[in-house]
Structure 1
Amino acid sequence: MQPQQIFQTKEEYAYQMIRQAILTCEFKPDEKLVIDHLGIQLGISQIPIRAAMQRLQAEGLVHIIPHSGAVVSPIRPEKVEEIFSLLEVLEQTAFRYAAEKITQVDLVSLQELVKKLDAAADQVDFKSWVGLNIQFHRQIAEISDMPLLLEFTHRILDEWQRLSNCYFQHLPPLRLLAAQAEHHQIVLALQTKDVERLQEIAVTHNRQAGQAYQNYFPTAKQKS
């Protein structure tokens, strides 16, 4: 865990550092988190770490066991279906409102992101592709300018990031290429404000992605 920014409080520092370690799978599902060890790693006392753990438990990222400590929450195979089912619903709304509010600056930014995603897919650089893909979907949610939707989308994409980092070192190249074709279609539909097409893509993009991950999950789990 290496800090990338300055935090206002020790609790916020502990929260962000532990949270990031969970999302990147530095701390793996079902791994026990020892408060004393975390204190040494982070260079702070137990009090802010315990407060951070309470926040992480509220997010479902850890389970606190009385008189024992905490463990990183497990990831079940059914989590894949849950993630993409929720994203499908959220993105139907996000895409519709983003089409109304998108600016030329937003479009250029999304087009640049898609170029970077194309490059990562061509190189089969799945780790980079995952980070860029999450950024792409978050940016569209931000363009929709709906705070609650953005909050829910952030939460689901965090779950997807953890799932990907822990269990999927790669996906079949054909799925990456298909996903990229869909990303291009999303940007084009946003540019032309084709809401009907965006609704179709929100469904197919998430269902096909969900199916690909569900098919791959057992194999990935055995290799982890």
Structure 2
Amino acid sequence: MAPVGKGLKHKTMASAAAEEIRNRILSGVYSPGLQLRQDGLAADLGMSRIPIREALVQLESEGLLKILPHRGAVVAQLTADEIEELFNMRLLLEPFLFKRSAPRLTDDDFTALHAVLDRYAKSIDELEMDVWNELNTEFHLLLYRHADSPRIILTVQNLLVECDRHTRIQLSNIRGDRERAVAEHAELLRLCEQGEFERGAQLMYWHIDHIREGLVTLLRSNPSVKSA
């Protein structure tokens, strides 16, 4: 049995590798279809192949990579149909989580949500693409934090990661949708504070569906579009 400290260090290295590779995928440094070689990643990140291999398995579970026979890890490139599936799963799960959690939000939760919303609006205004998707995920998960549905929340968290770079495509290419995203987040928060939870859940559905529709339309009309 390996010493506990050594095991923790190894796990930390695998997590660090996964975070760095994930960031490179989401930022477009590693483009869809690119083959990622373990030897090259290990040399680049200054670690052995073992934590790299575990990181790649983790990223496959998040949908960012596909590990293929004879090719290894390849950055995933979703079709319009696959994007439909991702967002339809969100449409099923997120309004449900919202309705369970929103009535239980506290004053501290609202303070945190307003702070995230302010930073989100600023990142949209300044076109900080790496930041706005992180804050979008943080905002949504804060809304759902009291749903008492840990398995569903974990599923939604993974879906938000998978949708990240594809949402980036939609917001990067359609200016009006950036403004709409900020306005809808602000309205979701207002409805929570006013206790209008059914209207909030309905808006959550429309909010996600609008992104789905815009992204699918964009990709089907111009399949060459990629994340910035």
Q: How far did residue 111 of structure 1 move? A: 1.6
Q: Which residues of 2 match residues 144-155 of structure 1 at below 5 A?
A: 144-155=147-158
Residue ranges of structure 1 left out of the alignment (5+ in a row): 1-5
2-structure distance, mates of 1:12, 1:186 = 33
* Alignment TM-score, normalising by the size of structure 2: 0.82
Residue 92 of structure 1 is matched in structure 2 by: 95
Distance 1:122 1:26, change over 3 A: closer
Q: How far did residue 187 of structure 1 move? A: 0.6
Q: How far did residue 13 of structure 1 move? A: 3.1
Residue ranges of structure 2 left out of the alignment (5+ in a row): 1-8
Residue 17 of structure 1 is matched in structure 2 by: 20
Q: Size of the alignment, in residue pairs?
A: 218
Distance 1:53 1:120, change over 3 A: closer
Residue 217 of structure 1 is matched in structure 2 by: 219
Is 1:60 equivalent to 2:63 in the alignment?
yes
2-structure distance, mates of 1:212, 1:139 = 25
2-structure distance, mates of 1:56, 1:122 = 30
1-structure distance, mates of 2:203, 2:155 = 20
Greater mean deviation of Cα atoms: 104-113 or 76-85: 76-85
Return the letter of the residue paired with 2:135: L
Q: Which residues of 2 match residues 74-113 of structure 1 at below 5 A?
A: 74-113=77-116
Q: Please, which of 149, 165, 170 is the counterpart of residue 162 of structure 1?
A: 165
2-structure distance, mates of 1:55, 1:223 = 27
Q: Which residues of 2 match residues 35-46 of structure 1 at below 5 A?
A: 35-46=38-49
Residue 187 of structure 1 is matched in structure 2 by: 189
1-structure distance, mates of 2:47, 2:152 = 35
Contact 2:133 2:164 in 1 (8 A): yes
Return the letter of the residue paired with 1:193: G
Distance 1:128 1:220, change over 3 A: farther
Return the letter of the residue paired with 2:108: V
Is 1:116 equivalent to 2:127 in the alignment?
no
* Alignment TM-score, normalising by the size of structure 1: 0.83
Q: How far did residue 157 of structure 1 move? A: 0.4
Q: In angstroms, what is the RMSD of aligned CA positions?
A: 2.6
2-structure distance, mates of 1:196, 1:183 = 15
Distance 1:193 1:217, change over 3 A: same
Q: How far did residue 180 of structure 1 move? A: 2.2
Distance 1:145 1:69, change over 3 A: same
2-structure distance, mates of 1:161, 1:13 = 19
Return the letter of the residue paired with 1:69: G
